Amino acid sequence: MRLYLDSSVIRRSVDGTSSERAAAVAWIKKAAESPAGTILLSKLVRAECLVMPYRNRDSELVERFESVFRDNGIVLVSISDEILDLATRIFAEHGIKMADAIHTATAVHGQCDALIARDEPWTKKSPILGLRLIAFSDLAAADGL
Amino acid sequence: MDTFTLPAHIEDGSVLLDAPLPANVQSVEVRVTVATPQPNRLSSLIRLIENFPPGTKTGEEIDAEIEEIRDGW
C-alpha cells in the first residue's frame, strides 16, 4: 500500500501523546503490511512539521523530525512545477486550502492509494482526481484499499 | 556409507529430482532452502518512532498549530 500522510499524522507520530502516536503508527503499520508498502510525503510536510520546533528553539525535536524524514521507508517529494499545476487545479475546483491542495496533488502525482489527513473538512472532499482522502480516525477504511 | 546431494525442484507441491538416483539407496532425506522474507522498509521507521520519548501534544493542539501555519499563507 502506498500512503500519503499529512503533516498532522507525522506530527502526531513524533510529538503527539502516547495515544496519538499509537494511532499514527497504526497507519504506518497498515502501509507496512505489504512488502512494497511506502509512505510518501511532500517536502511541505517537512516544512510544516519543523515550524514549531524552530519557533521554540527545540533542536532535539528538530532532530527527531529530521530522523523520520531521513528514514529509508519515507519517499520525500519536492514540489515540482507539475505538482504545483495540479495543486492549482485542485485548489480552483475543490475549494480547499492551497497547502491541502499541494499535499493532495503530491499524492495524486505519486500514485498513492490514499491520503490520510486529520478529519473534516478536507477529507469530506474525497475522492479528488481518483485519490481517496481518508480521515485519520478511520483506520478501518484502509481495509478497503 | 556415502552421501550425495541431488538437484531437485518443486512442481505442483511435489519434489522432482533433476538427476537419476544412484543404485543401492538406503535412505533419503530432503533438505529445503527457504527464502528469507524481506522486511518492509517501513519497519525501521516504526522502530525509530516507537523509541522516541513520549510527546506532549494532544491531537487538538497539533491540528490548531497546523491550521495556524496554513492560514498564514
Residue B36 has a pLDDT of 67
Q: Note whether A11 and A121 are within 8 A (CB).
A: no
Any domain includes B56: yes
Q: Note whether B58 and A12 are within 8 A (CB).
A: no
Any domain includes B3: no
Any domain includes B25: no
What is the ipTM for the molecules in this complex? 0.91
Residues in chain B, how many? 73
Q: Enumerate residues 6+ apart whose C-beta is below 8 A from A26.
A: A139
The domain containing residue B62 runs over which residues?
38-73
Which set of grid coordinates corresponds to residue B51?
523509541
Helix axes of A59-70 and A7-15: crossing angle, nearest 10 degrees: 120
Any domain includes B30: no
Any domain includes B28: no
Residue B36 DSSP label: P
pLDDT in tens, A64-98: 999 999 988 899 999 999 999 999 999 999 989 99
Domain count, chain B: 1
Mutation target for A interface from B57, B61, B67: give the one with most A CBs within 10 A: B57
pLDDT in tens, B42-51: 999 999 999 9
Chain A residues 75-134 with CB within 8 Å of chain B: 97-100, 118
Any domain includes B69: yes
Give the residue from A1, A25, A8 showing the smallest Cα distance to A99. A8
Residue B39 has a pLDDT of 67
Chain A residues 53-72 with CB within 8 Å of chain B: 64, 67-68, 71-72
Cα distances (angstroms) measured from residue A112 to each of A60, A133, A135, B43: 31, 10, 15, 19
**Nearest CB to A16 within list B41, B50, B57:** B57
Report the mean per-residue pLDDT for chain B. 87
Question: Model pTM greater than 0.95?
Answer: no
Distance of CA A110 to the CA centre of its chain: 12
pLDDT in tens, A11-26: 999 999 999 999 999 9
Q: What residue in A sits closest to B51 (Cα-Cα)?
A: A14
Any domain includes B31: no
Q: Which long-range contacts (CB under 8 A, 24 or more apart) does A120-128 make?
A: A121/A96, A122/A96, A122/A97, A125/A94, A125/A95, A125/A96, A128/A90, A128/A94, A128/A104
Q: Which residues in chain A have their CB less than 8 angstroms from residue B35's CB? A: none
Any domain includes B32: no
Show the CA angle centred on residue A111, arms to residues B50 and B71, nearest 5°.
Answer: 70
Residue in the structure block whose three cell numbers are 499524522: A9
A145 burial type by CB count under 10 A (0-12 exposed, 13-18 middle, 19+ buried): middle
